[in-house]
């Protein structure tokens, strides 16, 4: 028995040895081109930009699209000669949809990678959490999250590419009122975007002529929503407003269907991803949500600067990844486009000069609309960039 | 009244799932004296594999069966590769290995299946049925049926078959069992396969309701563990009772106090039981119960 084991053990040790050699060879092979292309000698011929994305966790679907978008654009920019003669290097960190990890990612990007600017985070809570690190390092940050607080609680270093809750919420609530509803039940997630939305809804509902009769939260990662839906149903509401960007949105709408909660439902940009109608199935039919016009590029007409830009980006994205870009891919595109535009105008890649140049962004046509920043407005989008959609046959169609 | 009925239905639904996961903890604990913290990952692998196979075009019943078998095989492999080399030693080492294993399984799933949530079709599509004013999804009936069948099958296996007797003997006293000719090593492997299969069944049963993703294992693992502790580790009936009690407590907390506090209930219950009654509500000294 023991004797028979000896050759086996030799075989295992030999195998492990071989594997180690093979791995070492692969690693050497990987690092060789990197060092020869001069990636190590940063400063002179490359400009480093950090990105904090939620590649895992409840916002994984958003982060994945943003990563696709950034990689596509990085490749395009570099093959066209880079920015101001320098090669653009985007270093992407995953925050796992976790605020503490977003802080760690920001610290790593600033202290180890010495990036000149940070794109992200994907989520509102993660963006707000990373702000302390950003402020200390005094480098500009362009967020891809839609919370109102991001530019509402003003920070001279922080900019924002999506339509914030402060313009999307009133836009959607007016539609709720126009559909003849008076009393609404609100369901939001307890993370940054949901909390932010809940506060804006409470504030804006009376202005739209609506009464909030029930306002409930759920935790990211929850899988059962019987409590919230049953309470919403018995609250006497005539409609439900759902405000979340997480994957739970689909499960809530699906469970509403299963539990026989037949109230009409409304939402925002969090539902503008294909995973929502796919995950919720038949229960999502008739769901109305408000988000940017670019969700359907045809909204921009033909021949307009917006239509040209959105169509060009959509075609390249689809050629690379096989699916049309969603709005989150667009927010990442905008963040990078605002940054590279500022880099070109400034010519100086220092963080403070870049911040000033970003703040002077004027009339830059992007995916989400036209960006006009000012010392008091770091978002610059308006309701004119928004549109309403309804889920029909598993996809979204414009609401007339 | 209708609300209360709805909360109870929701509680028994989550509770049945916790019970299935708790059973997995119980089986491995009986065989090794250790807690298998990778149990939640088997739950995840069941749902993800099932959805993946269905997506490839396999019919739903086949996809479900293959997913359970594949996860069971993986559970056995996990035992052979990671647990067997350190078997017979300190249970603490086994626990550490299962924690490491859970991280590896989760990351492997992330790379293989991707970061997105995946959906699985309902086992029988159709509208919910009404009972005392509460709506009960057909899938919930499936969950209850599957839990009942799993517990029944497990009790039958342990009590009525020679194979089950061998497993119980191994759990009671491993060295004595080996002396009478039982292959105790295989028994431990089989217990991991069974635990993995139960986890996979639970993951498949809820996937149509909640979708699945590579990272759902850790959360359900904590709930299943709390349920197993609550019922008394080592007792299948205790695991089921623990699961149902935990599900009901959570659902009533969510309905009548605040949905945000329902996860805290599991932890408070877990701590409370560990302090006041460490052997669990239904537990004796453990292994004899099996």
**What is the residue-wise DSSP string for chain B?**
-HHHHHHHHHHHHHHHHHHHHHHHHHHHHHHHSS--TTHHHHHHHHHHHHHHHHHTT--HHHHHHHHHHHHHHHHHHHIIIIIGGGTTS-HHHHHHHHHHHHHHHHHHHHHHH-SS-B----SS--PPEEETTEEE-HHHHHHHHHHHHHHHHHHHHHHHSHHHHHHHHHHH-HHHHHHTT--HHHHHHHHHHHHHHHHHHHHHHHHHHH-B-TT-HHHHHHHHHHHHHHH-TT-HHHHHHHHHHHHHHHHHHHHHT-GGGHHHHHHHHHHHHHHH-TT-SS-SSSGGG-
Residue B165 binned pLDDT confidence (cut-offs 50, 70, 90): confident
The token pair that represents A399 in the structure block: 């609401």
pLDDT tens digits, residue range B252-281? 998 888 888 888 887 888 888 888 887 777
**A97 and B CB contact within 8 Å:** no
CB pairs under 8 A between A and B: 96
Q: Do B117 and A55 touch (CB under 8 A)?
A: no
The pLDDT, as a whole number, for residue A20 is 54
CATH assignment of the domain containing B173 = 1.10.3470
Helices (H), A186-247: 192-204, 226-234
**A394 and B CB contact within 8 Å:** no
pLDDT tens digits, residue range B99-120? 999 999 999 998 899 877 788 8
The pLDDT, as a whole number, for residue B157 is 87
How far is the C-alpha of A37 from the C-alpha of A89, rounded, in Å?
Answer: 12
pTM, two decimals, is 0.80
State the smallest CA–CA distance between residue A146 and chain B in angstroms. 21
Mean pLDDT by 10 residues, chain A (400 residues): 44 51 46 36 76 89 93 95 91 93 96 94 94 93 92 92 93 95 95 90 95 92 89 93 90 90 94 88 93 88 89 94 91 95 90 93 92 91 92 90
How far is the C-alpha of B132 from the C-alpha of B115, rounded, in Å?
Answer: 40
- Assembly ipTM: 0.78
The pLDDT, as a whole number, for residue B262 is 86
- Among A63, A224, A247, whose Cβ lies nearest the Cβ of B14? A224
The pLDDT, as a whole number, for residue A6 is 44
State the smallest CA–CA distance between residue A191 and chain B in angstroms. 11
Residue B1 binned pLDDT confidence (cut-offs 50, 70, 90): low
Total of domains in chain B: 1
Chain B neighbors of A255, CB-CB under 8 A: 137, 209
Q: Do A258 and B7 touch (CB under 8 A)?
A: no
Q: Do B115 and A61 touch (CB under 8 A)?
A: yes
pLDDT tens digits, residue range B216-233? 898 899 899 999 988 888
State the smallest CA–CA distance between residue B135 and chain A in angstroms. 5
Q: How far is CA A370 from CA A163, A294, A384, B77, in A?
A: 11, 12, 10, 56
State the smallest CA–CA distance between residue A232 and chain B in angstroms. 11
State the smallest CA–CA distance between residue B57 and chain A in angstroms. 17
Number of Cβ within 10 Å of residue A38's Cβ equals 12
- Sign of the CA dihedral running A319, A320, A324, A326: negative
Domain of B186, in residue numbers:
2-289
Q: How far is CA B53 from CA B48, B49, B72, in A?
A: 9, 6, 16
Return the bridge partners of A185, or none.
Answer: A214, A240
The pLDDT, as a whole number, for residue B51 is 93
- Among A60, A221, A258, whose Cβ lies nearest the Cβ of B219? A221
Q: Do B13 and A224 touch (CB under 8 A)?
A: yes
Residue B286 binned pLDDT confidence (cut-offs 50, 70, 90): very low
Residue ranges and CATH numbers for the domains of chain A are 46-163+303-382 (3.40.50.2300), 166-296+387-398 (3.40.50.2300)
The pLDDT, as a whole number, for residue A31 is 38
The pLDDT, as a whole number, for residue B122 is 87
Number of Cβ within 10 Å of residue A126's Cβ equals 33
Distance of CA B234 to the CA centre of its chain: 13
Q: Which residue has the higher pLDDT, B171 or B65?
A: B65
Chain A neighbors of B7, CB-CB under 8 A: 226-227, 230
The pLDDT, as a whole number, for residue A12 is 53
């Amino acid at each position: 028995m023991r004797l028979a084991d000896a050759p086996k053990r030799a075989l295992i040790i030999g195998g492990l040895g071989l594997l180690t050699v093979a791995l070492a060879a692969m690693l050497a092979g990987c690092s060789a081109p990197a060092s020869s292309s001069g990636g190590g000698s940063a400063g002179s011929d490359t400009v480093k930009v950090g990105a904090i994305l939620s590649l895992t966790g409840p916002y994984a679907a958003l982060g994945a699209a943003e990563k696709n978008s950034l990689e596509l654009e990085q490749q395009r920019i570099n093959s066209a000669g880079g920015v101001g003669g320098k090669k653009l290097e985007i270093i992407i960190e995953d925050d796992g949809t976790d605020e503490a990890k977003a802080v760690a990612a920001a610290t790593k990007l600033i202290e180890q990678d010495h990036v000149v600017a940070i794109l992200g985070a994907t989520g509102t809570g993660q963006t707000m959490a990373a702000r302390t690190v950003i402020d200390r390092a005094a480098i500009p940050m362009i967020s891809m999250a839609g919370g109102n607080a991001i530019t509402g609680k003003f920070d001279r270093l922080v900019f924002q590419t999506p339509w914030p809750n402060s313009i999307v919420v009133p836009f959607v609530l007016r539609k709720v009122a126009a559909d003849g509803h008076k009393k609404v039940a609100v369901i939001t997630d307890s993370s940054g975007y949901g909390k932010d939305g809940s506060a804006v809804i409470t504030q804006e509902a009376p202005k739209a002529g609506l009464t909030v009769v029930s306002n409930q939260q759920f935790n990211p990662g929850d899988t059962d929503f019987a409590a919230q839906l049953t309470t919403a149903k018995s609250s006497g509401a005539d409609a439900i407003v759902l405000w979340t960007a997480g994957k739970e949105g689909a499960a809530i709408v699906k469970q509403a269907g299963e539990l026989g909660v037949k109230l009409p439902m409304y939402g925002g940009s969090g539902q503008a991803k294909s995973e929502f109608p796919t995950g919720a199935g038949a229960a999502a039919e008739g769901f109305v949500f408000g988000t940017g016009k670019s969700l359907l590029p045809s909204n921009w007409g033909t021949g307009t600067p917006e239509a040209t830009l959105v169509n060009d980006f959509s075609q390249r994205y689809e050629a690379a990844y096989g699916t049309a870009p969603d709005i989150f891919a667009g927010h990442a595109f905008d963040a990078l486009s605002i940054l590279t535009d500022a880099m070109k105008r400034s010519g100086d890649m220092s963080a403070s000069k870049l911040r000033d140049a970003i703040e002077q962004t004027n009339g830059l046509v992007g995916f989400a609309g036209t960006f006009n920043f000012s010392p008091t407005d770091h978002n610059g989008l308006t309701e004119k960039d928004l549109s309403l959609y309804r889920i029909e046959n598993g996809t979204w169609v414009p609401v007339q | 009244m209708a609300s209360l009925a709805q909360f109870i239905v929701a509680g028994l639904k989550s509770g049945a799932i916790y019970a299935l996961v708790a059973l997995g903890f119980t089986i491995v604990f009986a065989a090794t004296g250790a807690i298998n913290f990778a149990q939640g990952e088997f739950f995840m692998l069941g749902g993800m594999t099932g959805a993946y196979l269905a997506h490839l075009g396999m019919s739903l019943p086949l996809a479900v069966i293959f997913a359970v078998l594949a996860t069971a095989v993986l559970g056995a492999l996990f035992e052979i590769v990671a647990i067997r080399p350190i078997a017979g030693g300190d249970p603490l080492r086994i626990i550490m290995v299962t924690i490491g294993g859970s991280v590896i399984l989760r990351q492997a799933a992330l790379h293989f299946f991707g970061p997105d949530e995946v959906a699985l079709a309902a086992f029988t599509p159709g509208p919910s049925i009404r009972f005392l004013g509460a709506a009960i999804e057909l899938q919930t009936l499936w969950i209850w049926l599957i839990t009942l069948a799993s517990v029944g099958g497990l009790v039958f296996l342990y009590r009525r078959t020679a194979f089950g007797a061998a497993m119980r003997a191994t759990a009671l006293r491993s060295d004595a069992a080996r002396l009478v000719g039982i292959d105790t090593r295989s028994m431990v492997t089989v217990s991991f396969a069974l635990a993995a299969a139960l986890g996979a069944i639970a993951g498949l049963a809820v996937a149509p309701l909640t979708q699945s993703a590579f990272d759902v294992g850790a959360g359900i693992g904590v709930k299943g563990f709390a349920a197993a502790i609550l019922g008394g580790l080592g007792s299948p009936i205790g695991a089921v009772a623990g699961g149902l009690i935990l599900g009901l407590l959570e659902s009533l907390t969510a309905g009548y106090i605040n949905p945000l506090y329902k996860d805290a209930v599991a932890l408070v219950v877990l701590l409370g039981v560990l302090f006041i009654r460490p052997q669990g509500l239904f537990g004796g000294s453990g292994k004899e119960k099996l």
